[in-house]
Amino acid sequence: MCICIHCHFVDRCKTYHEVETNHHQLHLTENPDFDAINPQINANIQIPEIRVEGDRIIEQGEFGFEYDVVGCDSFQEEAGKWARLRPGELVPT
């Protein structure tokens, strides 16, 4: 899980803005002004599920990447910050 959803700087952070871009999500801000110090990002490869039915190969899903910030020297905990900025939306995982 991305630690950004509980960070004081989530709505100003350039790193989180890039994560949003890579996930094709709406941005919390269009003009972030905060440079995170030493963010550590996990990039997980997502591959389609492939199965064979008779002589046919069936793919489900798409190839892609999942990005999660798992550490950051700038992290300042503010539990629930993302959820307060986007009330009623599902919190990203």
Question: Which of 72, 80, 87, 56 shows the shortest CA–CA distance to 19?
Answer: 72
Q: Where are the domains of the chain?
A: 3-85
The 10s digit of each residue's pLDDT in 12-55 is 999 999 999 998 899 999 999 999 999 999 999 988 888 888 88
- Would you say residue 93 has pLDDT above 70? no
Residue 81 in this model has a pLDDT that exceeds 80: yes
Contact 6, 73 (CB under 8 A): no
